[in-house]
Structure 1
Amino acid sequence: MKKEVNSKVFLAAVIFIVLITLVVHWLFLLPLTLGFISTTLFVSMVIIALSVLARLILRKKKFVIIIPIIILVFLGYCLISSGIFRSKDYKNLIGTIKEETFSKDISPIDITQLPVVDKSYAEKLAEKKLGEAGAIGSQVTPGEPVKQIVKDKLCWIVPLLHSGFFSWSSNREGTPGYIVVSATNADDVTFVKELNGKPIHLKYQPNAFLGDDLLRHTYYQGNEFVGLTDYSFEIDDNGTPYWVVTRYKNTIGFSGEKVLGTAIVNAQTGEVKNYAIDNTPSWVDRIQPEDIVRKQLNLYGEYIKGFQWFTKNNKLKTTEGGEIIYDKGNCYYYNGLTSVGKDSATIGFTLTNTKTHQTTLYKTSGATEEASIKSAEGKVQNMGYKATSPILINIENVPTYFTTLKDKDGIVRMYGMISVQDYNIVGVGETTKQTLSDYTKALTGKGNLSSLNSSGKINHEQATVLRIGQEITDKTTFYHIITKEKPDVIFVVSADASSELALTQAGDKVQLDYIDADGIVINATGFDNLEFSQRKSDTQEKIEKENKPSTEKK
């Protein structure tokens, strides 16, 4: 009789544990595979709990032996999956790393397309736009901005999310749209509330609950056996809002993440389509999560020479900075590489295609992002401006950090350009054109060319002016010159380069000084109108002095 009672008690306990298991699964959405540590630990705990109950209720001692077996198997699996035995596999997670020349791969940037609005500034602009919408602002909150190219326009897409449970319960149809912030023009901010004449409602989102919760909804649409991460809000070229979710699996024990593809969720209808990497729609900018790429690069640096005991020799790591950059319609993660230990210099940097995962290494010693930030802030230390995390651009075939300089209220006041290879070469200005002019002067002047790994050649070209015009940007005058000898190139010169610019007209013989570079727009750092003989330019005098034969007696 007692045995029968114990059996019933044990059955009731089993049913209770099964119910707890179902609740935990619904709450935490654990992947249904033992390749994830969270799932393995939970299953192990359930088995251990059942073993303990069997021992206590059914008085069966043999079940207790399961507990040490599970612990030993778990620890053994972790050990054989560690870098001690799998260092080569960890190193190869990033794939084959190509080595290329920076100027060959990354095209010189159009100065008008510089991303002057960073993520935190985009948040501020979105909040301001939402505040102008009246009562809506009290019910919703801006989500995380996602950088994206939409119809060749670089912008930040900011979803509007529920501000809490009560906001969700009173607006079950969803939040009213999203905000588009231009990454190149802080004045271009749009609140998109309608699409094709119909109001937008973001029903499925991270701040929703129950079946409207984005993670839960995505999980139960054929993604129970994979890992889900990097929920980013993107729109297609028609403006339709989606959530792009990365699907992945672990390939080395409980780690070694490998991206399988994407799950694309229509934020309004909830329709979910799962894609492999190769057939993910072209408007999607990010398939490879940034944190996975950075982790793989650090594993590559950790095991570059295999597993090493108690030494940091030859090991590499990514620098603290890291941004998303765009070039020729492609999106890349930028990561600097530096030696392990305290170091303010990089040995090079990598660009990883956010879709294909292809990683390219550009070997060039230079400053870390942190060092470049301090260098830019040092230029304006009297104003107290703080530099944002820099992005990588190509200026005259020179790898260059570009940063915005903000005041204490987070408003962009100036811009900075810093040479990756020599952080002492800095240019700042109140406009991007002023900054570029100041930076190119720093590149070409005072003996700094020796530090550059680009062509490094300064041209002192004499030419005939075909056309000349001026442009005033934020109280600074820039002259645009087309010469007879190079009619397909526009030379841009700041007015402070020479007072003769204002007197120059078509037909004048002039001399232009600029760094040798390809492109239809070239920023000249020196100018001399040869029609005037009142004063020779400093550059001309320097050239004549260098070319003058020495008459000094030995």
Structure 2
Amino acid sequence: MTNTVLLGLLIGIIGSLPFDLGQRGFAKKWALLTLGQTLLWTTIILLIPMNFVGTLGGPFLILLISLAMVFNFIFCAILDAIENDRVGYSKYTYTRTSRSAIATMLSFCTLLTLTFGLSSGMFRHEEMRAFVSDHINTTSTWTDSFSAIDPAHIRTVPLEYAQWKGNKILGQSRDSLGSRYEIGDYTIQKYQDELVWVAPLEFSGFWRWRKAQTSPAYIMISAENPTDPGKIVEGLQMAYMESAYFGHDLERHVYSQGYQFHGVTDFTFEIDDGGHPWFTATLYTPTIFWSGDRVDGILLVDPETGKVEEKIGKDVPAWVDREVPCSLAISRLTWWGKYVHGFWNGLPFGANLDVNVPTSDALRKKDVQLVWDAQGNATWFTGFTSVQSTDQSLVGIALMDSRTGFTHYYSASGPDEQGVIRAVNAAVSNFRGYRGVEPIPYNIYGELAWVVPVLSQDGIIQKIAIVRGSNGMVALGADKHAALAEYRKMLQDSGSVIDPSPTGEDQIATGTIHRISPVVVNGETVFYLTLNDEDRTIFTGTVSVSPELAISREGEQVLISFTQTQDSVVTMTDFDLLSFLAKDSSGEK
């Protein structure tokens, strides 16, 4: 509270300085103006959580001082109007307003120049690019970061479908939680070796917060299994939330714990390995005036108790998936690609020589995804495209470690994220309202490929598409197993060499069908079967693998080719009905 009052006083004093020093009764009026401004800005700082970090107190302080100068000018104009009404127009009052206006505008322009000028690429482009270049590797190969795919951990649930499923769970919850709470922002993270979407229940307005005071639950949705129903984790009493008010507002609470003069950003909801909820936030220090943020560590906020813990370096828990915010990753990668030959070259009307930037929707965060590399590290991924290109093709891809900020950049060709979406949309154009969303890159059979969920108009998953990274060819399946089988067949038909999966070479199983069942998924028949000798494995495939699947029965001998994975459901790469082959070879009709 003391710091807030002192800040309000500082803003009030500086903001009132352009007041005309030559007028009669100056001291009394200046003191009155300063007191009023102090009370105003102290109240605003109390009501609106903000921090003051960086040179000259940071942009928030400069903005408030600039606004205080504007109010000072308005105050002077009001005094002039009152005096004119009392004594009529006089040269003296006109001069006083003019002096105040000139002083205010000059001060305001100076502060804006400091805000936007000294932090801009026009003056700091060399420092900005060097800031990133020192932490980027452009010499490694893309397979160093992309290990061969394990179907058990393919991300097939996009945010939109997770939101749909979460709303359904909340609507069916006991005690009518949906009438009192709303679902907050979803975060994707790795929880007990599975990718999940998690989101807290937030208060739906001031009066709901005043009555409830705490949030009782969060939503968890599998990001790997579209058929998983998801769940609501209850029994909590989360008081410090982004939708709470006054002292329980999350940001205000953190600033009140001594972080009002520290860089704090990106409040994110995550859960630890035990399922306990936390809010994480990034601690940073600007190194290039008000930009060039250096990540110093993170804050962990327990939403139940309000306890704030600062973690730096190796002390950051392993379950925390991000220290570097998405917005910071975008800024760094943009600087690196845009300022390769200076500021003017990177402007829209510049030469744009060698300028490559994150793909078109990256600035809106649509083309920046959190993915996990071959070592299991969370990384920010985006494609790069040339600003001179109009065909939305890739020139490279970048993976920035979300904990260290170190980046690997790889040259690449083929369609970018939006080009991939267009290819999928064209492939499903005969299905009304179907559309691809959130392409995620993977190493599938030794090639860069994109896994793209296909949603209906209602946001429900209908198919899974796999797009070949080199040429945009699309394989569609009712689920990830069918899509992988179709993609493998597409590669084989094109004469490509199929690399094995990370968990083993292609394998063969021979046995008797124990159970077989056809299931129609989104208009496509998918066969699921088990063998007597492979009762722990479920084999799946469509007639595109072999037409003999459609005529197979329980008790018949079969030979199945497949690639072993950690998943209990594996995709058949070939299928032979041995009894059918035996009849054919013996000449039986």
**TM-score normalized with structure 1 length:** 0.80
CA distance in 1, matches of 2:293, 2:203: 31
Identity between Structure 1 and Structure 2 (%): 26
2:126 aligns to what SS in structure 1?
A: helix
Evaluate the alpha carbon distance shift between residue 464 and residue 123 of structure 1 in structure 2; reply closer, same or farther with a 3 A threshold. Answer: closer
Q: Which residue of 2 aligns with 1:175?
A: 215
What is the match of residue 271 of structure 1?
A: 307
Distance in 2 between residues matched to 1:128 and 1:54, nearest whole Å: 58
Aligned match of 1:497? 545
How far does residue 347 in structure 1 lie from its aligned partner after superposition? Answer: 0.8
| TM-aligned CA deviation for residue 187 of structure 1 | 2.5
Counterpart residue number, 2:232:
191
Partner AA of 1:143 in structure 2: G
Corresponding residue SS for 1:344: coil
Q: After superposition, what is the alpha-carbon deviation per residue over 1:390-420, rounded to whole angstroms, capped at 9, x for unaligned?
A: 1111211211111111111111111100011
C-alpha separation in 1, matches of 2:483 and 2:285: 45
Q: Which amino acid aligns with 1:42?
A: L
Q: CA deviation at 1:276?
A: 2.3
Alignment of 1:396-545 (within 5 A): 396-424=445-473, 426-447=474-495, 449=496, 474=519, 475-477=525-527, 496-499=544-547, 525=573
* Alignment partners' CA distance in 1, 2:31 and 2:208: 43
2:200 pairs with 1:159:
yes
- Give distance in 2, aligned partners of 1:340 and 1:364: 16
Q: Which amino acid aligns with 1:305?
A: H
Note closer, same or farther for the CA distance 1:143–1:471 as it changes in structure 2 (3 Å cut): farther
**Which whole-Å CA distance do the structure 2 matches of 1:142 and 1:49 have between them?**
40
TM-fit CA distance, 1:248: 1.9
Following superposition, the deviation at residue 330 of structure 1 comes to 1.7
State the Cα distance separating 1:93 from its structure 2 match: 3.3
**Is 2:332 the partner of 1:292?**
no
Match of 2:88 in 1: none
Distance 1:67 1:316, change over 3 A: same
* Counterpart for residue 178 of structure 2: 137
SS in 2 for 1:264: strand
The gaps in structure 1 that reach 5 residues or longer are: 195-199, 482-489, 537-554
Match of 1:117 in 2: 157
* Mean Cα deviation higher: 471-480 or 279-288: 471-480
CA change 1:465–1:149 in 2 (3 A) is closer
Report the counterpart of residue 352 of structure 1 in structure 2: 400
- Residue equivalent to 1:539: none
Q: Is it true that 1:325 corresponds to 2:371 in the alignment?
A: yes
User: Residues 452 and 464 of structure 2 are in contact (CA less than 8 Å); yes or no, is this contact kept in structure 1?
Assistant: yes
Q: Among residues 96, 102, 124, which one is paired with 1:86 in the alignment?
A: 124
For residue 344 of structure 1, what is the amino acid of its counterpart?
Answer: Q
Instruction: Confirm or deny: 8 A CA contact 1:119 1:145 kept in the other structure.
Output: yes
User: Could you tell which deviates more after superposition, 163-172 or 337-346?
Assistant: 337-346
User: How much does 1:127 deviate?
Assistant: 1.0
CA distance in structure 1 between the aligned counterparts of 2:557 and 2:507, rounded to whole angstroms: 9
Counterpart of 1:314 (choices 354, 361, 374) is 354
Q: Which one-letter code corresponds to 2:125 in the other structure?
A: S
CA apart distance, 1:251: 1.9
Shift of 1:256: 2.1
Of the three residues 136, 150, 173, the one matched with 1:97 is 136
Task: Find the aligned partners of 2:509 and 2:555 in 1 and give their Cα distance.
Answer: 7
The match for 1:338 is: 385
Q: Is the 8 A contact 2:53 2:263 kept in 1?
A: no
Kindly indicate whether the alpha-carbon contact (under 8 Å) linking 1:259 and 1:288 is maintained by their aligned counterparts in 2.
yes
Change (3 A) 1:125 1:528: closer
- By percentage of residues, which structure has more helix? 2
Amino acid paired to 1:367:
P
- Partner SS for 1:345: coil
1:427-471: CA deviation from partner (whole Å, max 9, x where unpaired): 101121111111111122135x3xx9x979xxxx99986667687
Residue type of the partner of 2:135?
Answer: T
Deviation at 1:147, TM superposition (A): 0.8
Paired with 1:214 and 1:73, the residues of 2 have a C-alpha distance of 30
Give how far 1:496 is off.
3.6
What is the aligned-residue RMSD (CA, Å)?
4.0
Give, in whole Å, the separation in 2 of the partners of 1:336 and 1:3: 62
Whether the 8 Å contact between 1:465 and 1:505 is mirrored in structure 2 is no
Q: 1:525 to 1:45 in 2, by over 3 A?
A: same
Name the CA distance, whole Å, in 2 between partners of 1:251 and 1:344: 34
C-alpha separation in 2, matches of 1:374 and 1:51: 54
SS at match of 2:395: strand
Q: Does 1:22 align with 2:71?
A: no
Q: Distance in 2 between matches of 1:359 and 1:472?
A: 47
> SS state of the match for residue 357, structure 1?
coil
Contact 2:241 2:250 in 1 (8 A): yes
For 1:267, the aligned partner's letter is P
Give the Cα–Cα distance (whole angstroms) in 2 for the partners of residues 4 and 520 of structure 1: 85
- Quick one: which amino acid aligns to residue 468 of structure 2? S
Are residues 1:40 and 2:62 paired? yes
**Distance in 1 (alpha carbons) for counterparts of 2:50 and 2:509:** 70
8 Å CA contact retained: 1:303, 1:315? yes
Equivalent residue, structure 2, for 1:146? 187
**Distance in 2 between residues matched to 1:347 and 1:295, nearest whole Å:** 19
Residues 525, 193 of structure 1: CA spacing in aligned structure 2 closer, same or farther, 3 A cutoff?
closer
Structure 2 regions of 5+ residues with no counterpart?
1-21, 81-92, 362-366, 520-524, 532-537
Deviation at 1:520, TM superposition (A): 8.3
| C-alpha distance in 1 between matches for 2:443 and 2:313 | 29
d(CA) in 1 for partners of 2:42, 2:271: 35
Partner residue, 1:487: none
Name the CA distance, whole Å, in 1 between partners of 2:560 and 2:247: 70
Question: Structure 1's 33 and 104: CA in aligned 2 closer, same or farther, altered over 3 A?
Answer: closer
Any conservation in 2 of the 1:242–1:266 contact (CA below 8 Å)?
yes
Report the alpha carbon displacement of residue 21 of structure 1 after superposing the two structures with TM: 2.2
Counterpart of 2:87? none
CA distance in 2, matches of 1:431, 1:358: 34
Would you say the 8 A contact 1:478–1:495 is kept in 2? no
2:290 equivalent in structure 1:
254
Which position in structure 1 is the counterpart of 2:419?
Answer: 371
Quickly say closer, same or farther: Cα 1:465–1:247, change in 2 above 3 A: closer
